[in-house]
Amino acid sequence: MFGGFGENVRVALTGLGANKLRSSLTMLGITIGVAAVIVLVSLGQAVETFVRGQFLGLGTNLILVFPAEDSRGVTIRLTLDEVEALDDPLRVPDGLYVMPQLNLTRVAAFNGREAQGRVRGVTDEFPTMRSRAVAAGRFFDRTEVDGLARVAVIGTTVVDRLFPETYPIGQTFRLGDVNFRVIGVMENASSPNPFAGDENDLIFVPITTASTRLSGERDLRGDRPITSVLVQARGEDSISMAAAQIRQTLREERGISFRDEDTFEIFTQDDLLESLGQITGLLTIFLAIIAGISLLVGGIGIMNIMLVTVTERTREIGLRKAVGAQKNDILMQFLIEAMVLSLLGGGIGVGIALSGALLVSSLSAELAVRVQPESILLATAISIGIGVFFGIYPANRAASLNPIDALRYE
């Protein structure tokens, strides 16, 4: 019925080949647009994978509890008593581990060297909950936590600052006024992350030691205040349940009336991911608009060049009609030419995106940019769509030419 699909593609390629510079300039817009779309999608996925990986590196199913201001603007700190309440399996049945954390800053000194030491008091459950391991020595155990032992496990940065020439394990150093013995060195934490900050310059000590020997602070009721509580839920499905139970328990402990707001905040990893997702989502929309504009401009370029082509080939169209081409034959011929143009442009864009992804992946070991087959499919669909959308008007103009006028056209 038609002039044959293959025949049309052949004619289109011959025509495009005859105007190589013009064709490639026209394709450029689509090429850039498609490359942008693919890079964007791939980069977005890579960043998300990266961030997710970082969060998983913290340990799974974690819930973080912070104190918050109450309605009068007073912050009531969490206490070890409240931690004990949260550790009650009858009140928080979906919590697996509950660990108080106390952050302090004390001057650390060893052998004449001094440094600001960021101290974090934790329990022996820290390595398990946070999926962290020691590089050398060991982490403190339950007995040492219960016995207020003056032992410390230090991060790699601390090793560099305080023990540049000494094997740290077994050494005794001063933290404020108290002597601590180094019993272990933490494995290097991959990189600073939004959930926990840089953990390589931390000095881990038992929470009990921190809150008594280092801090000694007490609140009005005589309880020992802490910075935050980390709870690990039993499973992925029970995170929200555990969060609800924690909330209920703390409200009861603090005697908060049903009318009043919580005086603490509960974060799950999902919450943080979500707020992070909002930021990256905004960025994605912004970049998508740029890609969309570039595709639009590319499409208009194709339309423009197709209109030029149709005018240039008016006599050819007249001849084709004279020897029996139907309106549809001419329409298909020019539509296919526009599609070949946009598909070629899109194909080159895919190629550029693939090599760009390889480049980024080889430059950054942590950011594995992989071009998904779906995004190639999407790019192909977009290219065809643009070809059809912007090609239909010129093609229709060609198909509607009157053969007499077209044959006479100079």
Partner 1 sequence: MVSLFKRRGGRRDDVPVDVQGRRAVIEIQGVTKTYAMGDIEVHALRGVDLTIYEGEFVSIMGPSGSGKSTLMNILGALDQPTSGAYRLDGVDVSRLSESDLAKVRNKKIGFVFQNFNLLKRTTAQRQVELPLIYAGAGGRSRKAKAALESVGLGQRLNHLPSELSGGQQQRVAIARALVNEPAMILADEPTGNLDSRSGAEVLQIFQTLNRERGITVVFVTHDSWIARHTQRVIMLRDGQIVADAPIAEPLIAGHNERPSMEDEMEAVLKTVYYGGKEEEYT
Footprint of partner 1 (CB under 8 A): 1, 3-4, 7, 14-15, 18, 315-316, 318-327, 329, 403-404, 407
Query: Closer to partner 1 at the Cβ: 137 or 403?
Result: 403
**Closest distance of CB 302 from partner 1, Å:** 21
**Closest distance of CB 356 from partner 1, Å:** 35
CB 229 within 8 A of CB 65: yes
Query: Closer to partner 1 at the Cβ: 66 or 409?
Result: 409
CB 193 within 8 A of CB 130: no
CA distance 76 to 221: 11
Query: Closer to partner 1 at the Cβ: 190 or 402?
Result: 402
CA distance 30 to 354: 16
**Closest distance of CB 342 from partner 1, Å:** 22
**Closest distance of CB 10 from partner 1, Å:** 9
CA distance 199 to 186: 9
Query: Closer to partner 1 at the Cβ: 142 or 315?
Result: 315
CB 49 within 8 A of CB 368: yes
**Closest distance of CB 323 from partner 1, Å:** 4
Query: Closer to partner 1 at the Cβ: 332 or 386?
Result: 332
**Closest distance of CB 30 from partner 1, Å:** 24
DSSP one-letter code for 201: T
CA distance 409 to 102: 87
**Closest distance of CB 403 from partner 1, Å:** 5
CA distance 143 to 261: 39
> Which helix (H) or strand (E) covers residue 186, if one does?
strand 178-186
Phi, psi angle pair for 258, to nearest 5°: -60, -20
Query: Closer to partner 1 at the Cβ: 8 or 61?
Result: 8
DSSP-H helix ranges across 58-90? 80-86
Residue 265's alpha-carbon distances to 67, 178, 193, 228, 250, in angstroms, are 6, 33, 20, 10, 10
Query: Closer to partner 1 at the Cβ: 224 or 321?
Result: 321
**Closest distance of CB 335 from partner 1, Å:** 17
**Closest distance of CB 311 from partner 1, Å:** 15
Query: Closer to partner 1 at the Cβ: 17 or 216?
Result: 17
**Closest distance of CB 316 from partner 1, Å:** 6
Query: Closer to partner 1 at the Cβ: 142 or 408?
Result: 408
What sign does the dihedral 322-328-332-338 (CA atoms) show?
A: positive
Residue 13, sorted as left (phi over 0), alpha (psi -120 to 50) or beta, turns out to be alpha
**Closest distance of CB 7 from partner 1, Å:** 6
Query: Closer to partner 1 at the Cβ: 74 or 323?
Result: 323
CB 345 within 8 A of CB 23: no
- Contacts for 388 with CB less than 8 Å, ≥ 6 apart: 335, 338, 339
**Buried b / exposed e along 21-56 (16+ C-beta atoms within 10 A):** eebeebbbbbbbbbbbbbbbbbbbbbbeebbeebbe
Query: Closer to partner 1 at the Cβ: 240 or 314?
Result: 314
CA distance 245 to 14: 71
